[in-house]
Chain A
Amino acid sequence: MKNAFSRCLEKIKSACYSVSVAIHSAKRKIFKKSRPRTMSSRRRGELAFFIALVAYPLAQFAVFYIGVNINSVLLAFQHFDTGTAQFYFNGAGELFDNFASFLSDLRGNAARITATLNSVILYVCTLCIALPLNLVFSFFLYKKVPAYGFFRVVLFLPQIISALVVSLMFRYFVENALTTVIGFNLLTTKKTGFATIVFYNIWAGFGTQILIYTSAMTKIDDSLVEFGELEGISLLREFWQITLPLIFPTITIFLVAGIAGLFTNQAGLYNFYGGGARDDLQTLGYVFFVRIIRSDNASYAQYPYASAAGLLFTLVATPITLAVKYLLEKFVPSTE
């Protein structure tokens, strides 16, 4: 109680001091003889340089992020008129038509339901399979197992090569080489198609996470590890009780980013199939990506529908993402 009172007193004192400083500086500004401010040529040069440096990225950000997103929100309440090839706002009674169409599809359209399920499955697999594997491999690389340099290169290789090339190689390998061995095509067989896509995503996403986890692990204080070694802890215990808690903030970033990308991850399907992936393989991210990307159909009329869906996804994903972030931060293992 006493502590609380003294803290409160301190705050009041601090506020009073701030006010007095503000009054003093205002008085100085008012009564001080104004002197014309000039800029030296050096300063002007620096300013020009700074403006030239930031103008382009800022313009890009303004147009391709802020502008696009504002336009996307507006599109959700518009429709495309084929007579004039322009977008117009829906009438008062039809303002939410695009949302209604999407929700109707989500309820009644089996393909859309499959896409939703696939998105969730992909995330869960990434979480339950890819994450532990990445952590384990990172840990072994961090502990410098024999030939760790070789493994690091091999695991990171898919990230160096273009994603399109990697998916093409994977696809040819599965459809041609592997088919001759196992007798059927894993990608074109319905029962194994999506599982193969999930495998591809886990495999192709290996490098980045390993690189970042390994980097986070190398920042762990050596003395901490050495102390553990002197205490004779096993590798498993070191991983579980030292490494994992210390890199958990990094893991949190991937988990939160994964949730945020739940509705936008197209699972590399466009690289595999262009705009023609089968229904049983599609994720929500892919469904809406191909809806607007294709150039041979009535894609313009689909912009409002896709925008409405995107807005709904944001409304769902944002609280989930924030909740996951909050929970992870709250229950993060102590690094003390």
Chain B
Amino acid sequence: MIRKTTAMILCALMVFSLGGCQFRRDDVEEYDPTKTYLYIGNYDGGLGDEWLLALAEEYMAEHTDVIIRIENDKDRFADATLLEQMDNYGYDMYFVNAVTYSNYVARGKMLNITDAVTTDLDGENESIADKMNPTLREYYQTEDDQFYAVPFFDSIFGTVYDVDLFETEGFYYNENGNLMCDDPTSDVKSAGPDGKMETEYDNGLPATYSQWENLMHTMKYDFSIIPYIWTGEYTYYRYRFLTSIWADYEGKADFDLNMTFNGSYTFDGDETATPISVNNAYLLQQQQGKKYALDYAEYIVRNGLYVKTSFDGTNTHMMAQRSYLDSAVEGDRIAMIIEGGWWENEARSFFDEIVADSGEEYAFGTRRFAFMPTPKSDDGKSDPDTTLISSTGNSVAFIAANTAEPELAKDFLRFVHSDHGLRTFTRMTGAIRPYDYELEEGDLAEMTHYAKNMWEIYHSEDTEISYVTLYYNDCFVQEASFLGSNWWWKSTVNGREYLDAMWEFSQEPSLNAENYFLGLQTTFSQSVWNNRMSKYFD
């Protein structure tokens, strides 16, 4: 009898283990069979889910027969895991941080939502596709003009500075081209990197490399302020910081060649443009924007313009955020943090903790931060426009191919992408969606200084966005071991390879911006390139 029971238990365990992951739509508390349920999987990152809950509430108020359930998760909604497991999850739609779009489309995991994306939205004269950022529209529209996903959010990456500190200490440049702390004769801010007074978001910020260098020197030696902090946990923060400088120097069209391998480029000293294809893309390692970015890296590291823990792996991005915020009340003051646009929302709890200890003046929304566009080169060779990099071009919203409620999901997707839905998102998260929509005064009033600043920069007519995480060219997928992160910053100097320029400058006294830059061309020399990439040549 005992054996029989044990055998039955073992068999049952086996069956349950195989079938236990199956999703059941009615497996919720207080299931109401008279209602239609919509299940949404939401990536639990810096944006949170308040915005989605708010929109879901509104939608349910209008559609009383619908119940929307939102589940937040991070690991389960990561790219490859979601691709393999989403049939078991059973959610109808997803808002996720990063996916490899082509894999999902090819494996038939995403519902074709072309009709929902291309027809005009209710009460609006344009469709989701019409409002979409043109670069992303081109990316997400397949060769047969179909849409299977739409871009989720945009987040520019780079330097964030403490506005309160800059104002208090006079770290802005005035109209005379001097730092206000050095020249109190004028408190009218300079035009900033874009040279335009009417675009206030960058006024007073260093317009050139030499102005930036002067500011760094003043901060460190005259005010004993540490200019930078960044996380040591994720090396890609450092790569992206340099990439943001390089992209701004080159401008979007020239910078994007590094991902598309398709176009033409005028190299330094040339009078005519050289056509660029996969056959000769190695030449792009000569882009002077890289040298320009490396100059920044070398100056920052060699002059110790950073918090010492910035290279420590235990210094997580959240700890860096915390240290940055804490520096206003204790320890050495830190002026800038290298971060993504989402950071302020992500660090919200830290603001609250500091308020509890130190007072309301440190509250979220009271403290002011802003994004610092890259200063232009002194020789005038930088692209005049502002090019920012976004690391979230592959964040998407999509409907699962096996959804039980395709029409409801499409309707909710359209609701979320209405002007009202888009505004709600930005108002509540401070982040931006890559669509053409306007904010109202009421929305702006609810946003922090930082969120408003990002909004202004993002929507300036002089601003271009480059998406550094999109696979425009298949080579990046097929040759990830050869290209991958190597393509951006891998340098070979005297037979030794270096990848993380900022850290390498802190370790190798013989390395400098010049030889590191030349080493990039050694890593991707013509012979190396031909040897590996010839199978992709036109």
Residues of A within 8 A of B (CB): 45-46, 48-49, 51-53, 55-56, 59, 79-86, 94, 101, 104-105, 108-111, 114, 171-172, 175-176, 185, 187-191, 272-274, 276, 278-279, 291, 294-302, 305
> How far does the alpha carbon of A299 sit from the alpha carbon of B10 in the complex, in Å?
36
3 closest pairs, A vs B, by CB?
A85-B106, A298-B477, A295-B80
Query: Contact mask B502-521 → A, CB, 8 Å, 1/0?
Result: 01000110000000000000
19 A-B pairs with C-beta separation under 8 A:
A52-B8, A52-B11, A56-B14, A85-B104, A101-B532, A104-B531, A105-B482, A171-B313, A172-B314, A188-B311, A190-B507, A191-B507, A276-B234, A278-B499, A295-B81, A296-B98, A297-B100, A298-B478, A298-B480
Contact B311 A104 (CB under 8 A): no
For residue B500, CB closer than 8 A to chain A, the reply is yes
In the complex with contacts A104-B532, A110-B496, A279-B499, A298-B236 CB distance below 8 A: no
For residue B200, CB closer than 8 A to chain A, the reply is no
Residues of B within 8 A of A59 (CB): 14
Closest to B3 in A: A49
Given contacts A82-B102, A299-B480, 14 further A-B contacts (CB under 8 A): A48-B4, A56-B17, A82-B103, A82-B471, A83-B102, A86-B106, A111-B497, A114-B497, A185-B312, A272-B313, A278-B235, A295-B81, A296-B78, A296-B98
> How far does the alpha carbon of A297 sit from the alpha carbon of B483 in the complex, in Å?
12
Residues of A within 8 A of B54 (CB): none
> How far does the alpha carbon of A297 sit from the alpha carbon of B322 in the complex, in Å?
29
> How far does the alpha carbon of A191 sit from the alpha carbon of B476 in the complex, in Å?
32
Contact A110 B312 (CB under 8 A): no
Size of interface on B: residues with Cβ below 8 Å to A: 54
Query: Contact mask B420-439 → A, CB, 8 Å, 1/0?
Result: 00000000000000000000
Contact A105 B481 (CB under 8 A): yes
Closest to B313 in A: A273
Contact B474 A82 (CB under 8 A): yes
**Contact for B311 among A185, A276, A300, CB less than 8 A:** A185
For residue B79, CB closer than 8 A to chain A, the reply is yes
Contact B78 A295 (CB under 8 A): yes
Residues of A within 8 A of B478 (CB): 79-80, 82, 298, 301
Contact B6 A80 (CB under 8 A): no
Contact A279 B497 (CB under 8 A): yes
Enumerate B377-419 residues with CB–CB distance to A below 8 Å: none
Contact B495 A110 (CB under 8 A): yes
> How far does the alpha carbon of A188 sit from the alpha carbon of B308 in the complex, in Å?
11
Closest to A110 in B: B497
Residues of B within 8 A of A53 (CB): 7, 10
Closest to A54 in B: B10
* Interface SS of A by simple majority: helix
Closest to B484 in A: A297
Residues of A within 8 A of B107 (CB): 85
> How far does the alpha carbon of A172 sit from the alpha carbon of B495 in the complex, in Å?
33
Residues of B within 8 A of A296 (CB): 78-80, 98
Contact A176 B3 (CB under 8 A): no
Residues of B within 8 A of A279 (CB): 497, 499
> How far does the alpha carbon of A31 sit from the alpha carbon of B533 in the complex, in Å?
74
> How far does the alpha carbon of A46 sit from the alpha carbon of B4 in the complex, in Å?
9
Contact A48 B7 (CB under 8 A): yes
In the complex with contacts A52-B10, A53-B10, A172-B314, A302-B480 CB distance below 8 A: yes
- Smallest beta-carbon distance B236→chain A, Å: 7
Contact B311 A49 (CB under 8 A): no
Closest to B2 in A: A49
* Interface SS of B by simple majority: helix
Contact A85 B79 (CB under 8 A): no
- Smallest beta-carbon distance A333→chain B, Å: 44
In the complex with contacts A291-B481, A298-B476, A190-B508 CB distance below 8 A: yes
Residues of A within 8 A of B4 (CB): 45, 48-49
For residue B528, CB closer than 8 A to chain A, the reply is yes
In the complex with contacts A83-B102, A298-B476, A108-B528 CB distance below 8 A: yes
Enumerate B200-246 residues with CB–CB distance to A below 8 Å: 232-236
> How far does the alpha carbon of A191 sit from the alpha carbon of B313 in the complex, in Å?
16
Contact B102 A85 (CB under 8 A): yes
Residues of A within 8 A of B106 (CB): 81-86
Residues of B within 8 A of A190 (CB): 507-508
Closest to B394 in A: A296
User: Which of B78, B103, B471 has the largest number of chain A CB atoms within 10 A?
Assistant: B103
Contact A45 B3 (CB under 8 A): yes
Closest to B495 in A: A110
Contact A299 B14 (CB under 8 A): no
- Smallest beta-carbon distance A67→chain B, Å: 15
Contact A175 B314 (CB under 8 A): yes
**Contact for B80 among A84, A110, A299, A305, CB less than 8 A:** A299
Residues of B within 8 A of A45 (CB): 3-4, 7
- Smallest beta-carbon distance A42→chain B, Å: 9
> How far does the alpha carbon of A286 sit from the alpha carbon of B236 in the complex, in Å?
18
Residues of B within 8 A of A105 (CB): 481-482
Residues of A within 8 A of B503 (CB): 188, 278
For residue B42, CB closer than 8 A to chain A, the reply is no
Residues of B within 8 A of A101 (CB): 481-482, 532
Residues of B within 8 A of A104 (CB): 531-532
> How far does the alpha carbon of A55 sit from the alpha carbon of B3 in the complex, in Å?
15
**Contact for A278 among B100, B234, B481, B500, CB less than 8 A:** B500
Residues of A within 8 A of B253 (CB): none
In the complex with contacts A80-B478, A82-B102, A302-B481, A109-B497 CB distance below 8 A: yes
Contact B314 A82 (CB under 8 A): no
Residues of A within 8 A of B104 (CB): 85
- Smallest beta-carbon distance B510→chain A, Å: 12
> How far does the alpha carbon of A111 sit from the alpha carbon of B482 in the complex, in Å?
11
Residues of B within 8 A of A298 (CB): 100, 471, 476-478, 480
Closest to B5 in A: A49
- Smallest beta-carbon distance A149→chain B, Å: 34
> How far does the alpha carbon of A35 sit from the alpha carbon of B235 in the complex, in Å?
76
For residue B492, CB closer than 8 A to chain A, the reply is yes
Contact B10 A175 (CB under 8 A): no
> How far does the alpha carbon of A79 sit from the alpha carbon of B441 in the complex, in Å?
54
- Smallest beta-carbon distance A241→chain B, Å: 47
- Smallest beta-carbon distance B74→chain A, Å: 11
> How far does the alpha carbon of A117 sit from the alpha carbon of B11 in the complex, in Å?
49
